[in-house]
Amino acid sequence: MTEGRETDAVAERPVELAYRPTVGEWASALRARARSTGAGRFQRRALVWTVAVSTVGALLSAAGSGHRDTRWPLYVGALAFVAFMTAAPSLQARRLHRLAERHGDIRGTVDDTGLRLATAHSSASHDWHLYSRYAETPELFVLLSADKSAVGFVVLPKRAVADPEEVDRLRAVLDRRLVRADAAEAPGSPQSRGRAVGRGAGSVGLLLLGLLLFFFAFAAVQRAAHPDRFPGIQNNTAPISAVMLGLGALAVAGAWWLVRRMTTMRTVTIVLAVLVLLAGGAALYRVGPMLHCWGSDRIARGPEGAYVCYGF
């Protein structure tokens, strides 16, 4: 009986914390919050689509007949937007760090009743009903408020505990009182299996898209490559083929990125990607000798196989 009471007492003992968050920890917490909220995931997708659309637009404009009139300031603005959105978490982390530095070191306790934090200038107690879930990174725990955007969050670095074993106790308290934000990603869960199937299907689709783009890149230069069947000066379609080759390579890279954390699908994707890239290499072998005529409107293949550029 005595041993049982001692065990319960140890289990009920609060986890004690002492720390001062760093800029890197604030930035990591902001990234974890973004991954755990719909608004954060939408922002990341918008950033990816902005990069993709800007890249495709720039390539198509450069390959078109009016490439000399390309509005490069538009693309510079798009790159500036992407750079700002990428740097935004770090900038916000620095602002939060400056604000936290005014309070100095933080000391606190965590148990089943709630979270209590104190600094040299303030103290606060938080009941668990204020938070609905938490996210874990290799270096910290992030408590997220119950609203959808998780406007409120608390950073609990793992280094804040005196004993590494206390990290497990802290995680156990959080598991009892909150829901893990990445529970849907846990292996074996229905959401995880559904996303795995979706990622696998998306990877195969991107590989097929890449193969199709490589085929079109190869077919687009057939008239210039075969003067015996298509004599005379031809339209210079090599830049368009080069753009298709680039987009095909991006599709293959995207296929791998979708399944990069799935061991079996990653291996299958690598094998299929190699086969698709071999087709892309064949297309590049055909298009490569024409690319020195990038800025020309017309092209013709000479008797010795070299390509002559014509500008009209």
Residues 6+ apart with CB under 8 A from 102: 121
Give the residue with greater pLDDT, 237 vs 40: 237
Task: State pTM to two decimals.
Answer: 0.56
Q: Whole-number mean pLDDT of the chain? A: 80
Residue found under tokens 């055909």: 286
Count of CB atoms within 10 A of residue 93's CB?
Answer: 21
Give the residue with greater pLDDT, 189 vs 93: 93
Q: pLDDT (tens digit, 9 = 90+) per residue, 96-121?
A: 778 777 778 889 899 998 899 888 77
Give the residue with greater pLDDT, 232 vs 261: 232
| pLDDT interval class at 215 (50, 70, 90) | very high
Q: pLDDT (tens digit, 9 = 90+) per residue, 262-282?
A: 888 888 899 999 999 999 999
pLDDT given for residue 3 in this prediction: 45
Distance, in Å, from the CA atom of 213 to the CA atom of 284, rounded to the nearest integer, reads: 12
Given a cut of 60, whether residue 248 has pLDDT beyond it is yes
pLDDT given for residue 285 in this prediction: 93
Given a cut of 80, whether residue 43 has pLDDT beyond it is no
| Mean local confidence (pLDDT), 66-89 | 63
Percent over 70 (pLDDT), the chain = 75
Residue found under tokens 């599709």: 251
Write the CA distances from 291 to 57, 67, 106, 286, integer angstroms: 19, 15, 62, 10
Lookup: tokens for 74: 């538009």
| pLDDT interval class at 184 (50, 70, 90) | very low
What is the CA angle 223-297-308, rounded to 5?
A: 65
| Mean local confidence (pLDDT), 205-229 | 90
Given a cut of 70, whether residue 53 has pLDDT beyond it is no
Q: Strands (DSSP E) along 34-113, which ranges?
A: 106-111
Residues 6+ apart with CB under 8 A from 65: 297
